């Protein structure tokens, strides 16, 4: 990050990651935050006033159609598995300068990894299982069958997609994000993350969430596992 001039915050939402980058990057660094949701960016435009931050409303898959200068780094926090991954990797490779870095994370469930802390702090029953039980009891919710389907984006697939796009993995790390049930509740109150999936209305989901939350210690610690991947576009040959 010490040499960065242009950083792209891919699927940047309301700009929290972009601001975190600006907080540690050299003063001359600019960050372009790209997201397909104009509503998320409206929040960011209102709350973040750093003149080094600019916004593009577009799908991540079309990054290279919107950024016409070389980026030193592309970051993508908490979103890559929602995108068309091969198309996004190709677009990232096109905008990165030689030796430029692409850093992203993948939720543990999607990557098929678990940080050891998750087992230590697991509250029983979990907020998610209480939500499912209450949804079944009060609204006749039928959970989807447990199919045992493989994780959507394990490291070997990521590595293959990166290689196809012309990038390599230089580093990986499994990290643990420590939070509380109260923070998890705030997350599950965002419409796109509310549960359970299916036909229940947002209002019904919030009723279920309140009922589940009342049965659990709000201060109880929870852990979310993440796979962090640092990839690189190869440098120019001397
Ligand atoms: C969990 S939020 C993360 C936001 C941000 N990265 C952060 O750290 O605060 C996921 C974001 O991904 C965006 N997103 C999902 N798929 C996308 C796509 N194909 N192209 C652009 N943005 C996308 C959503 O609009 C949302 O803002």
Please give the angle made by the CA atoms of 232, 94 and 22, to the nearest 5 degrees: 65
State whether the beta carbon of 230 lies less than 6 angstroms from ligand 1: no
pLDDT tens, 166-191? 999 999 999 999 998 999 999 899 88
| pLDDT confidence bin for 12, thresholds 50/70/90 | very high
**Interval between CA 79 and ligand 1 midpoint (Å):** 5
- Considering only residues 120 and 230, tell me which one the structure prediction assigns the higher pLDDT: 230
- Considering only residues 118 and 35, tell me which one the structure prediction assigns the higher pLDDT: 35
**Interval between CA 78 and ligand 1 midpoint (Å):** 7
Query: What pTM was estimated for this model as a whole?
Result: 0.89
- Mean pLDDT over 198-215 rounds to 95
State whether the beta carbon of 105 lies less than 6 angstroms from ligand 1: no
For every residue of 64-92, which 3-state class applies, written as one string?
HHHCCCCEEEEEECCCHHHCCHHHHHHHH
Tokens 């029983």 belong to 124
State whether the beta carbon of 196 lies less than 6 angstroms from ligand 1: no
Please give the angle made by the CA atoms of 171, 175 and 176, to the nearest 5 degrees: 175
Q: Given the CA of residue 40, which atom of ligand 1 is nearest to it? A: 27
- Go through the chain and tell me how many residues it has: 238
State whether the beta carbon of 62 lies less than 6 angstroms from ligand 1: no
pLDDT tens, 154-165? 999 999 999 999
- C-alpha distances (whole Å) from 107 to each of 9, 24, 129, 179 are 18, 24, 19, 15
State whether the beta carbon of 17 lies less than 6 angstroms from ligand 1: yes
> What distance in Å separates the CA atoms of residue 45 and residue 39, rounded to the nearest whole number?
10
For residue 36, what are its two tokens?
């397909």
pLDDT of residue 122: 64
- Mean pLDDT over 10-19 rounds to 97
Weakest mean pLDDT among 17-21, 117-121, 126-130: 117-121
> Which residue's alpha carbon is nearest to atom 4 within ligand 1?
13
Q: Above 70 in pLDDT, residue 4? A: no
Q: Above 80 in pLDDT, residue 128? A: yes
- Mean pLDDT over 131-151 rounds to 87
Q: Above 60 in pLDDT, residue 1? A: no
pLDDT tens, 25-35? 999 999 999 99
Q: Above 70 in pLDDT, residue 238? A: no
pLDDT of residue 145: 75
Q: Above 60 in pLDDT, residue 2? A: no
State whether the beta carbon of 59 lies less than 6 angstroms from ligand 1: yes
pLDDT of residue 118: 86
Question: What percentage of residues in the chain have a pLDDT greater than 90?
Answer: 79
State whether the beta carbon of 16 lies less than 6 angstroms from ligand 1: yes
State whether the beta carbon of 20 lies less than 6 angstroms from ligand 1: no
> Which residue's alpha carbon is nearest to atom 14 within ligand 1?
11
pLDDT tens, 63-75? 999 999 999 999 9
The SS3 call for residue 55 is strand
State whether the beta carbon of 21 lies less than 6 angstroms from ligand 1: no
> Which residue's alpha carbon is nearest to atom 10 within ligand 1?
79
State whether the beta carbon of 35 lies less than 6 angstroms from ligand 1: yes
């Amino acid at each position: 990050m010490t040499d960065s001039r242009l950083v792209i915050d891919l699927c940047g939402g309301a700009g929290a990651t972009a601001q975190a980058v600006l907080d540690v990057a050299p003063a001359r660094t600019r960050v372009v935050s790209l997201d397909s949701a104009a509503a998320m960016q409206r929040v960011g435009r209102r709350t973040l006033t750093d003149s080094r931050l600019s916004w593009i409303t577009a799908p991540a898959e079309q990054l290279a159609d919107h950024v016409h200068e070389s980026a030193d780094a592309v970051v993508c926090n908490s979103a890559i598995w929602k995108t068309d991954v091969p198309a996004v990797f190709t677009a990232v490779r096109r905008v990165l300068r030689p030796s430029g870095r692409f850093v992203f994370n993948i939720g543990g469930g999607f990557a098929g990894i678990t940080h050891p802390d998750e087992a230590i702090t697991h509250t029983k029953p979990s907020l998610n299982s209480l939500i499912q039980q209450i949804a079944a009891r009060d609204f006749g919710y039928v959970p989807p069958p447990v199919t045992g389907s493989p994780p959507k984006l394990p490291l070997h697939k990521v590595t293959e997609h990166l290689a196809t796009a012309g990038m390599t993995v230089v580093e990986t790390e499994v990290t643990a994000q420590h939070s509380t049930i109260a923070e998890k509740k705030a997350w599950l109150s965002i419409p796109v993350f509310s549960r359970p999936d299916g036909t229940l209305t947002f209002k019904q989901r919030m009723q279920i969430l309140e009922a589940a939350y009342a049965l659990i210690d709000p201060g109880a610690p929870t852990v979310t596992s993440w796979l962090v991947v640092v990839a690189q576009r190869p440098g120019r040959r001397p």
